Every structure is written in structure tokens, then in C-alpha cells.
Amino acid sequence: MKVDNTRMDGLGLVAGIDGGAVAYGFSCQLAEVVKAVKETGKKGKVSITLTVDPLPKFGESAVAIKANLALSVPRPDYKQMVKFALDDGTLIGDDPKQRKFEEISNSFKQEEKVI
């Protein structure tokens, strides 16, 4: 097995982690965030975290590098709606404690007939 002693900068390192899977995942997640930013007008974020751990069993200069991708995709704001909850948890559109327009209208019509 040939040992690669080529010096590696950060970009080369990220490009080579897991056979390029991290770089590809970053590219896909970045595109997803950019699309959502354009759609919502809100900011988003993609982060690459590299964890470096010592590996003393392989010698004092050996380190393990693990990558993690995280993204924050902006979501659209949805409008709220008002509903009224009954005792059984059912939601309805009209306040059950408030009289309906038809009831009020009918009571005025009945009062007019009485007069």
C-alpha cells in the first residue's frame, strides 16, 4: 500500500473525506438553502464542522477527522386561522358561546310581529 504524503490544505481535505461524499453533500445542501432563501426572502445557513481527534495507537502525529454537515433552511410563514375548541377537542369555526346572526335576526322579526 502506497502512503500519500502530499500536503493537504483544508479544501483538499474536505473534498477527499469519505470519497467526496461530504463535498457533494455540502453542494446539495447549499443549493437547497439558496433555493429556499430565494423563495422566502429569509436567510439560511449551511455549516461544515470538522472534528479532529488524536489517534495515539497509530502514533503521536495521527489524527482522525470526521465531518458533519448542518443546514438551516428558511421556511415560509403561514397565516394563522382562528378556531374554537369544544370540550371534546373538536375545532369549529364559530364561537359556540356567541349567538348566530340568524338567531338574532329571527328574534328581531318576532319582536316586530308582536308590536
- Tell me the per-residue pLDDT of 59-93, one tens digit each, with 9 for 90 and over: 999 999 999 999 999 999 999 999 999 999 999 98
Average pLDDT on 35-43 reads: 97
Report the C-alpha gap between 29 and 7 in whole angstroms: 28
Of 86, 87, 103, 104, nearest to 95 (Cα)?
86
Per-residue confidence (pLDDT) for residue 103, from 0 to 100:
72
The residue whose grid cell reads 422566502 is: 40
pLDDT over 70, % of the chain: 90
pLDDT at 46: 97
Rounded to the nearest 5 degrees, what angle is found at the Cα of 59, between the Cα atoms of 54 and 63? 30
4 located within any domain: no
Rounded CA gap, 26 and 15, in Å? Answer: 10
User: Which tops the pLDDT comparison, 7 or 20?
Assistant: 20
- Give the structural domain span for 26: 10-72
d(CA 13, CA 9): 6
Residues 98 and 53 in one domain: no
* 2 inside domain: no
Number of domains in the chain: 2
Task: Please indicate, yes or no, if residue 92 is contained in any of the structural domains.
Answer: yes
Query: Is residue 67 domain-shared with residue 90, that is, in the same domain?
Result: no
Do 62 and 27 fall within a single domain? Answer: yes
Query: CA 17, CA 52: separation in Å to the nearest integer?
Result: 13
pLDDT band at residue 104, thresholds of 50, 70 and 90?
A: confident
> Is residue 79, in this structure, part of any structural domain at all?
no
Do 60 and 100 lie in one domain? The reply is no
Do 44 and 19 share a domain, yes or no?
Answer: yes
